[in-house]
Amino acid sequence: MVRAEKQYPTIGKAPPSSNKIRGLVCTLWPLAILVLISCSKKSSGNGDGYNGNEPGEPPDGFALDGTVEDVPDQFGATDVELDAQDSDIPGGPSLECVVPIRECGEACRQVTCAGIVFEPWGWDVDGSVIVYYTLSRGSLHGVGMYTKDLETGEEKRVLAYPDDYFWCKYLSFSNNTVAYDIIDTSDDYDLCFRALHIFALESAVDSIATCYTDIFEESGTMHSLDMFGNSIVWHGKGEGDILDHSDLFLFDLSTWEKSRLTNRQACVRPRIWENQVVCAGYVDSTDGSKDVLLHDIETGEIRNLTQSPTDQTWPVIWENRVAWVDFRNGSCADIYWCDLLECEPQPATTNGACQDLPALEGDWIAWHDFRNDSNPLGYGSADHDNIEIWGYNISTGQEYQLGSFSTIIGDHLRIVNGKLYFQIPSDPETSILESGSIFEIDLSSFL
């Protein structure tokens, strides 16, 4: 096991049953990064072309409920508290802030500040905890995974990586477990150029679930992770596929197995709720347009929810409700939604400007909106100065302006427990998202 100066769990932290000699080697920080990578790969689970454990067998020490029995103290997560704390972040002690605190409105607050959130999809929220990944230029506290407890205000690093060669593009968080990808951009990566990792927050056990072995993507690709309970989905291509067909893949934590749900059939940007996955694809499409598809993991049945001659993209799902980006009214998209029983599409907004990238929970739908921007044509055009977040409440039937920030907004919006989470630059003077933090808007304040 590798430990940083303040004893954070680090890349490929070995479970208690791992070889003690390998753990000793991994603690020698002056060794080359190649040794570090090798240690991490050999302490992880089954994946493509890698058999650290028997197929279908989770790695030793990993538990789905976030606990590990008989784990010595040195294997547990270590809370890290620096001397400084920032009173501008409400809720209690936290790591020292390294990014500015930005005012964002009466019902809005900035909730992360210990590190910059670089990737639009490199963070997630579940319950009262935010998880995100940052790089060395994004935090004085180091490269790796951070959490923010929204109830206590504590912000800490829970998983350390040695340097910026290890890049996380997608991250999803459910049931105290984090699924995330790591791209090894060094020239001397050992086995996995890109890997799906599973990190149990409570036990601080990190394991590789599946491994893509080459930079030329012949072993497969992985995009748009999403997670619900024990199920992790993404789109990409399989090993040996010549073209990136954007098929749908599933990793089941309860069996520690990967399966392919579609075969050379586009199903992009999947989002999962229980055993139902929504995505944008071309099933039953005779005109080349994308429709919103519903894939039942248990039965394998695929249902076309929209069947429109125009594109419907970026679907999201919550319980029995789905929302998506819809082009039925012209080249500038609107936001539509439906209940799954009949799925009769209903507009959340048909404003003449473009709308994009919805989020959904209960009666709330939120999205990126360009109606007050100098260029209302959406992300297909350049030079934006006032992208906003708008919302629609199904019970009231009303639209609401949720936030106006005169800046770029990260692609990923999440509504959790009646609160909207999003990424914007911490510094209002910059339009670079790579200086971003996570912000929160209390949606109840609009009702």
| Lookup: tokens for 409 | 């907004």
Q: For position 193, what pLDDT does the model report?
A: 84
Ranges 26-30, 54-58, 261-265: which has the least confidence: 26-30
Is residue 117 within 8 A of residue 438, CB to CB? The reply is yes
**pLDDT tens per residue across span 344-353:** 999 999 999 9
Is residue 259 within 8 A of residue 266, CB to CB? The reply is no
Residues near 53 by beta carbon (within 8 Å), at least 6 away in sequence: 45, 46, 59, 60, 256
**pLDDT tens per residue across span 211-234:** 888 766 666 789 999 999 999 999
* 437 to 98, 145, 172, 427: CA distances (angstroms): 11, 14, 17, 9
Is residue 41 within 8 A of residue 204, CB to CB? The reply is no
DSSP 157-186: EEEE-SSTTEE---EEEETTEEEEEEEE-S
Q: For position 76, what pLDDT does the model report?
A: 27
Segment 147-162 shows an average pLDDT of 94
- State how far the Cα of 250 lies from the Cα of 257, in Å rounded to an integer: 8
Higher pLDDT, 329 or 75: 329
Segment 351-380 shows an average pLDDT of 94
Half-sphere exposure for 243 (CA within 13 Å, toward CB): 6
Question: Is residue 440's pLDDT more than 80?
Answer: yes
The structure's pTM equals: 0.82
Question: Is residue 23's pLDDT more than 60?
Answer: no
Q: For position 239, what pLDDT does the model report?
A: 75
Confidence of residue 21 (pLDDT cuts 50, 70, 90): very low
**pLDDT tens per residue across span 271-328:** 999 999 999 998 755 667 899 999 999 999 999 999 888 999 999 999 999 999 999 9
Question: Is residue 380's pLDDT more than 90?
Answer: no
Question: Is residue 207's pLDDT more than 70?
Answer: yes
Nearest of 132, 124, 163, 135 to residue 36 by alpha carbon:
163
Higher pLDDT, 171 or 377: 171
Question: Is residue 68's pLDDT more than 60?
Answer: no
- State how far the Cα of 409 lies from the Cα of 105, in Å rounded to an integer: 15
Q: For position 107, what pLDDT does the model report?
A: 93
Is residue 403 within 8 A of residue 389, CB to CB? The reply is yes
Question: Is residue 46's pLDDT more than 90?
Answer: no
Question: Is residue 98's pLDDT more than 80?
Answer: yes
Q: What is the DSSP letter of 117?
A: B
Residues near 73 by beta carbon (within 8 Å), at least 6 away in sequence: none
Q: For position 212, what pLDDT does the model report?
A: 85
Segment 153-175 shows an average pLDDT of 93
